[in-house]
Amino acid sequence: MKKLCLFCKHFYFSPAERGYSELTPGVDVTIECNKNKWNKYDMEQDLSTTLLLAEMCKFYVIDEWAKERYGLEE
């Protein structure tokens, strides 16, 4: 199976949250690599291409939930 950033323990995703008023505007979605390989602001290509970068990443480690849920192995 291909390595995907989505299954890496260093992948971080936080959904957007709407604000409650003009004083609490909410937050934007956050998608990034905790090893600073990429984030949504400095992507030079589209998201699907970026998530395939794990194929060449020296920091790639399969997250435990991916092992349990999908039966993936390193």
Rounded to whole angstroms, the Cα distance separating 54 from 7 reads 9
By residue range, what is the domain housing residue 14?
Answer: 5-70
Q: Under 8 Å CB-to-CB from 11, ≥6 apart: which residues?
A: 5, 33, 34, 63
The Cα 72–Cα 64 span in angstroms is 9
So what's the pLDDT on residue 43? 67
* Contact call for residues 8 and 61 (beta carbons, < 8 A): yes
Q: What is the mean pLDDT of the chain?
A: 85
Instruction: Return the sign of the alpha-carbon dihedral for residues 39, 45, 50, 53.
Output: negative
pLDDT confidence of residue 26 = 83
Domain count, the chain: 1
pLDDT at 37: 87
